């Protein structure tokens, strides 16, 4: 609150409203986030979904180009592909919430797509070295959607550092909270320059701060459209104040996750999604399969849980509620081939957010309630 008040005191909320040698809050956030992520560049913008659009455009997507994407993701992903003029080619997921590499290879070859937008959906990270190999051998640009993996790692490498571009969301339900917001990271100066102009730098990019050198802008400055979506200094100040606390928040999430995971693992009929040893996840939500329940039994279980204050989401529900994540609810997209393995995996997939307003005792109680109510169903 103090950091935001300080920005308000200056009255200068627009990121380019700075003197020549002055660093805006937005630029400072970009510099600090790039350092945390270990990338050359970071661009702050209005939302995670907007960052995904920028990523596709900055990577050179042209109208009609195909974009591979795991079929289980959140609505901003197909929305970003649609808004940037691309055509999604959805790839199956496996029973452990990850993109199916056999189907990815087959769809990459059949479609000839040159872009992959990979969501680490609900924080589950697939075999990243294998995906890199699939992309590199086919010259596919990999864009990582790290909305649920800010701070997570695969084999000791931060999620977001495997592809050409990574996108993060800082809206309220993600790992840092500025109400709304997005971050795009890349090591490529030309992509960073295009993304900066796309985000609405006008010809003020010389005052941008954390971006590439002026030379990187020479070729792109007049050939890149302005699709305004800058982050303002107030939101950047909010995020700068939170970044130092990210490691301790990750620990706090993982302690809560472990309690819920243990409770679900010992509940007959339910099974948490297995986590590979290579994955250092951030347990800001938990997914589990209702392995021995019929889909018809799930609404009743969820209603009894809700009556006791435990809100669990079911991805198998025919009509989407809250956030939409099932490809068959995005009807504005034409000709989506059926994805039976994805629908099968989602038909038993349950999900719960783990807000840090729950303490560890709350998580133990929630785990006990899930166990009791599941036992009544079986």
Ligand X SMILES: *Cc1c(COP(=O)(O)O)cnc(C)c1O
Residues that bind ligand X (CB under 6 A): 47-49, 73-74, 76-77, 119, 121, 145, 147-148, 169, 171, 174, 182
Give bridge partners of residue 166 from the DSSP assignment: 144, 185
Q: How far is CA 372 from the centre of its chain?
A: 33
| SS3 at position 292 | coil
Integer angstrom CA distances of residue 302 from 57, 93, 184, 257, 377: 41, 24, 37, 20, 11
Nearer to ligand X, 75 or 364 (CB): 75
Contact 123, 284 (CB under 8 A): yes
Nearer to ligand X, 183 or 220 (CB): 183
Minimum distance from CB of 31 to ligand X (Å)?
22
Minimum distance from CB of 182 to ligand X (Å)?
6
Nearer to ligand X, 148 or 348 (CB): 148
Nearer to ligand X, 150 or 210 (CB): 150
Nearer to ligand X, 121 or 345 (CB): 121
Q: What distance in Å separates the CA atoms of residue 344 and residue 356, rounded to the nearest whole number?
A: 31
Nearer to ligand X, 37 or 47 (CB): 47
The label of the residue with tokens 């099932």 reads 326
- Closest-CA residue to 343 (of 309, 318, 374): 318
Strand-pair category, 141-145 with 66-70: unpaired
Minimum distance from CB of 79 to ligand X (Å)?
8
Q: In the complex, which residue's CB is closest to ligand X?
A: 48
Q: How many helices (H) and strands (E) does the chain have?
A: 13, 14
Minimum distance from CB of 224 to ligand X (Å)?
22
Q: What distance in Å separates the CA atoms of residue 238 and residue 29, rounded to the nearest whole number?
A: 10
Minimum distance from CB of 6 to ligand X (Å)?
25
Q: What distance in Å separates the CA atoms of residue 55 and residue 87, rounded to the nearest whole number?
A: 15
* Paired tokens of 231: 């982050």
Minimum distance from CB of 143 to ligand X (Å)?
11
Minimum distance from CB of 213 to ligand X (Å)?
29
Contact 54, 199 (CB under 8 A): yes
Nearer to ligand X, 79 or 189 (CB): 79
């Amino acid at each position: 609150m103090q950091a935001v008040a300080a920005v308000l005191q200056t009255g200068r909320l627009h990121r380019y409203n700075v003197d020549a040698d002055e660093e805006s809050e937005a630029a400072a956030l970009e510099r600090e986030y790039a350092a945390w992520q270990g990338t050359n560049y970071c661009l702050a913008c209005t939302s995670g979904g907007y960052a995904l659009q920028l990523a596709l455009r900055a990577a050179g997507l042209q109208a009609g180009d195909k974009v591979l994407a795991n079929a289980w993701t959140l609505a901003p992903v197909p929305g970003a592909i649609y808004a940037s003029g691309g055509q999604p080619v959805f790839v199956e997921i496996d029973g452990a919430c990850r993109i199916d590499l056999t189907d990815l290879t087959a769809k990459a070859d059949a479609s000839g797509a040159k872009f992959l937008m990979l969501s680490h959906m609900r924080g589950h990270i697939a075999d990243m070295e294998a995906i890199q190999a699939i992309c590199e051998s086919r010259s596919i640009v990999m864009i990582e959607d790290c909305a649920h993996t800010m701070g997570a790692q695969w084999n000791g490498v931060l999620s977001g550092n495997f592809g050409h571009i990574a996108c993060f969301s800082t809206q309220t339900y993600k790992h840092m909270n500025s109400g709304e917001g997005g971050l795009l990271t890349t090591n490529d100066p030309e992509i960073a320059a295009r993304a900066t102009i796309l985000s609405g730098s006008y010809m003020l990019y010389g005052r941008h701060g954390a971006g590439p050198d002026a030379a990187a802008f020479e070729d792109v400055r007049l050939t890149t459209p302005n699709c305004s979506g800058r982050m303002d200094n107030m939101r950047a100040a909010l995020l700068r104040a939170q970044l130092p606390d990210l490691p301790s928040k990750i620990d706090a999430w993982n302690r809560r996750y472990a309690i819920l995971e243990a409770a679900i693992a010992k509940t007959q009929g339910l099974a948490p999604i297995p986590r590979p040893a290579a994955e250092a996840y951030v347990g800001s939500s938990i997914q589990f399969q209702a392995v021995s329940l019929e889909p018809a039994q799930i609404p009743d279980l969820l209603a009894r849980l809700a009556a006791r204050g435990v809100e669990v989401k079911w991805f198998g529900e025919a009509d989407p509620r809250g956030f939409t994540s099932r490809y068959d609810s995005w009807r504005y997209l034409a000709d989506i081939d059926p994805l039976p393995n994805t629908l099968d995996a989602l038909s038993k997939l349950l999900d719960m957010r783990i807000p840090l307003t729950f303490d560890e005792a709350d998580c133990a109680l929630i785990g006990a309630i899930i166990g009791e109510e599941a036992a009544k169903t079986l």
